[in-house]
A and B are shown apart, each in its own frame.
Chain A
């Protein structure tokens, strides 16, 4: 066993950092035993790499039009995924589109689950009237179909990537609140919560320091599984012309503009469709794997 591995698996860690990293390493070992999860992780890493190295990976400028070379089929010289109706290279647009997809994913992940976690834990911890009010509010948001509510928000706020993200975040938090609340209800009666309350801890410290860490794994799993839906919603808004605006290389928008040529020049809509499909699949596979690693019910025993 090499030195760093021994350090990570040391049964008597010497610092909080080493203890945390050791636990993370054990989680990674569990995850790496699941080949499907690894494929998912590989896809996500590929997405990250594509977004980070877009200028290097792209063969053309994604915005430069070339009307002489429009609608060229895949594997044509110089354009291996073909070109769209303005003669723009589809591969380059997909690679730059990864940035937009990642941007949407990142913005939604830092808003919706955080809001959901706070509302869910507060609701579950206090119970009573607080619970009733917050949960009925959640019910109201849950009662609307996500895409319809997002459409209404975008219609009110105007189209654009940021507004699409805001609309998705506003409609995505209720399931996290439900998950966090359910988890909080099982945790709040636990002896370790009673013990910390007995030490004189305030509600804020108990909720964020002691209850929330117990809800976090379920929420993280839920987020990765929802990511596919979020990407699809963003693409759907783009497709309907309410998300990203032309000439941005957003994948949903690209499908929308390729729709007109679907029968004669199938690749214009199919390539971005495949990209959405692969990335959604990647998040779903990773989510399933993470559930096995993080779910306290599945792994602790």
Chain B
């Protein structure tokens, strides 16, 4: 059975009397320990799906289930221990006035786990796991580079040892060279900890590198679902997917 199941999801934002139907009946299923990609251009509703899972977007229809059970309307602490998210912009997702130590320790404090010296050990281990020097522990985010910040954000998401990690364009704000490092870090952590990824990107190359299955989205609808092998064989049915794929290969060719 799939770990995350989304059934006919609708999300409608109410912006000053205007209804914006951001997600229009998307269904997908992510198996445990799989890595699933959502790809599409900006405004296609892919990030909204992640936000809907976290309770940050108004779900107006359909159902989201984790482990076969509908997730509670109020995302509680038990939910926080299973599902965590890494945000797109590492410059906005870390509290500017908290040290890295405080940022990483806060989840432990909220859940009352690992008190005293054990908390310090957990924080140091988390830094080590994402490849950051222990010297970073008491720095402030503004003393770190974008790539380092995103490592901290990944470490924070993993502090509670969740099984599901939602990744909202985790590398799009980073330089190309740092992007690859961050993606490899995520792949390694997934392999080590048996995590389940649901990853959003506008970059088909990133999704192709990271994910076993993917759904192509356009204007709030799922255009096509593919697995890795189909993508490799260029075995796609929808024209839009083909366009997207062609655009990506052209860009990679141009870069090389």
Q: Which residues of A contact B (CB under 8 A)?
A: 11-16, 18-19, 23, 190-192, 194-196, 198-202, 205, 209-210, 213-214, 296, 300
The reply to whether B140 and A12 contact each other, CB–CB distance below 8 Å, is no
Interface status of B196 (Cβ within 8 A of chain A) = no
The reply to whether A16 and B97 contact each other, CB–CB distance below 8 Å, is no
B69 to chain A, nearest CB (A): 18
The reply to whether A191 and B110 contact each other, CB–CB distance below 8 Å, is no
Q: How many angstroms from the CA of A200 to the CA of B106 in the assembled complex?
A: 10
Interface status of B143 (Cβ within 8 A of chain A) = yes
The reply to whether B75 and A16 contact each other, CB–CB distance below 8 Å, is no
The reply to whether B76 and A12 contact each other, CB–CB distance below 8 Å, is no
Q: List 5 A-B contacts (CB under 8 A).
A: A12-B139, A16-B99, A23-B140, A195-B87, A300-B142
Q: How many angstroms from the CA of A192 to the CA of B101 in the assembled complex?
A: 15
Q: How many angstroms from the CA of A194 to the CA of B56 in the assembled complex?
A: 8
The reply to whether A16 and B102 contact each other, CB–CB distance below 8 Å, is yes
Among the listed B85, B89, B95, B101, which residue makes an inter-chain contact with A198, where contact means beta carbons less than 8 Å apart? B85
The reply to whether A18 and B138 contact each other, CB–CB distance below 8 Å, is yes
Per DSSP, chain A at the interface is helix
Interface status of B201 (Cβ within 8 A of chain A) = no
The reply to whether B138 and A15 contact each other, CB–CB distance below 8 Å, is yes
Residue of A nearest to B91 (CB): A191
Among the listed A14, A15, A191, which residue makes an inter-chain contact with B92, where contact means beta carbons less than 8 Å apart? A191
Q: How many angstroms from the CA of A207 to the CA of B163 in the assembled complex?
A: 28
Interface residues of B in 117-170 (CB under 8 A from A): 133, 135-136, 138-140, 142-143, 153, 156, 159-160
Q: Which residues on B sit within 8 Å (CB–CB) of A194?
A: 54, 56, 87, 93
Among the listed B87, B92, B107, which residue makes an inter-chain contact with A199, where contact means beta carbons less than 8 Å apart? B107
The reply to whether A19 and B107 contact each other, CB–CB distance below 8 Å, is no
Over the window 65-109 of chain B, the binary record of Cβ atoms lying under 8 Å from chain A Cβ atoms (1 yes, 0 no) is 000000000011101110011011100111111110110001100
The reply to whether B80 and A200 contact each other, CB–CB distance below 8 Å, is yes
Q: How many angstroms from the CA of A125 to the CA of B136 in the assembled complex?
A: 31
Known: A12-B135, A18-B138. A196 touches B106 (CB 8 A): yes
Known: A191-B89, A192-B95, A195-B93. A201 touches B139 (CB 8 A): no
The reply to whether A192 and B92 contact each other, CB–CB distance below 8 Å, is yes
Known: A190-B92, A296-B96. A200 touches B110 (CB 8 A): yes
The reply to whether A12 and B136 contact each other, CB–CB distance below 8 Å, is yes
B152 to chain A, nearest CB (A): 11
Interface status of B111 (Cβ within 8 A of chain A) = yes
Q: How many angstroms from the CA of A54 to the CA of B30 in the assembled complex?
A: 75
The reply to whether A16 and B110 contact each other, CB–CB distance below 8 Å, is no
Q: Which residues on A sit within 8 Å (CB–CB) of B81?
A: 200
Which of B79, B97, B140, B156 gathers most chain A CB within 10 Å? Answer: B97
Q: How many angstroms from the CA of A256 to the CA of B96 in the assembled complex?
A: 49
B252 to chain A, nearest CB (A): 30
The reply to whether A191 and B87 contact each other, CB–CB distance below 8 Å, is yes
Residue of A nearest to B135 (CB): A12
A85 to chain B, nearest CB (A): 54
Q: Which residues on B sit within 8 Å (CB–CB) of A198?
A: 54, 75, 80, 84-85
Residue of A nearest to B141 (CB): A192
Residue of B nearest to A190 (CB): B92
Q: Which residues on A sit within 8 Å (CB–CB) of B76?
A: 200
Residue of B nearest to A201 (CB): B110
Q: Which residues on B sit within 8 Å (CB–CB) of A190?
A: 92
B158 to chain A, nearest CB (A): 11
Residue of B nearest to A20 (CB): B99
Q: Which residues on B sit within 8 Å (CB–CB) of A201?
A: 106, 110
Q: Which residues on A sit within 8 Å (CB–CB) of B54?
A: 194, 198
The 9 closest A-B pairs by CB, nearest first: A200-B80, A12-B135, A200-B77, A191-B93, A13-B138, A19-B138, A191-B92, A199-B107, A192-B95
The reply to whether B138 and A16 contact each other, CB–CB distance below 8 Å, is yes
Q: Which residues on A sit within 8 Å (CB–CB) of B97?
A: 213-214
Q: How many angstroms from the CA of A77 to the CA of B88 in the assembled complex?
A: 75
Residue of A nearest to B103 (CB): A192
Given A16-B99, A192-B92, A195-B156, list of 15 further CB < 8 A pairs? A11-B135, A11-B139, A12-B136, A19-B138, A191-B89, A192-B93, A195-B85, A195-B153, A196-B95, A198-B80, A199-B84, A199-B106, A199-B159, A214-B96, A300-B142
Q: Which residues on A sit within 8 Å (CB–CB) of B85?
A: 195, 198
Residue of A nearest to B54 (CB): A198
Q: How many angstroms from the CA of A18 to the CA of B140 in the assembled complex?
A: 12
Q: How many angstroms from the CA of A219 to the CA of B64 in the assembled complex?
A: 42
Q: How many angstroms from the CA of A195 to the CA of B162 in the assembled complex?
A: 14
Among the listed A11, A15, A192, A300, which residue makes an inter-chain contact with B94, where contact means beta carbons less than 8 Å apart? A192
B144 to chain A, nearest CB (A): 11
Q: Which residues on B sit within 8 Å (CB–CB) of A213?
A: 95, 97-98
Residue of B nearest to A11 (CB): B143
Q: How many angstroms from the CA of A194 to the CA of B96 in the assembled complex?
A: 14
The reply to whether A14 and B138 contact each other, CB–CB distance below 8 Å, is yes
Residue of A nearest to B107 (CB): A199
Q: How many angstroms from the CA of A191 to the CA of B76 in the assembled complex?
A: 19
Residue of B nearest to A18 (CB): B138
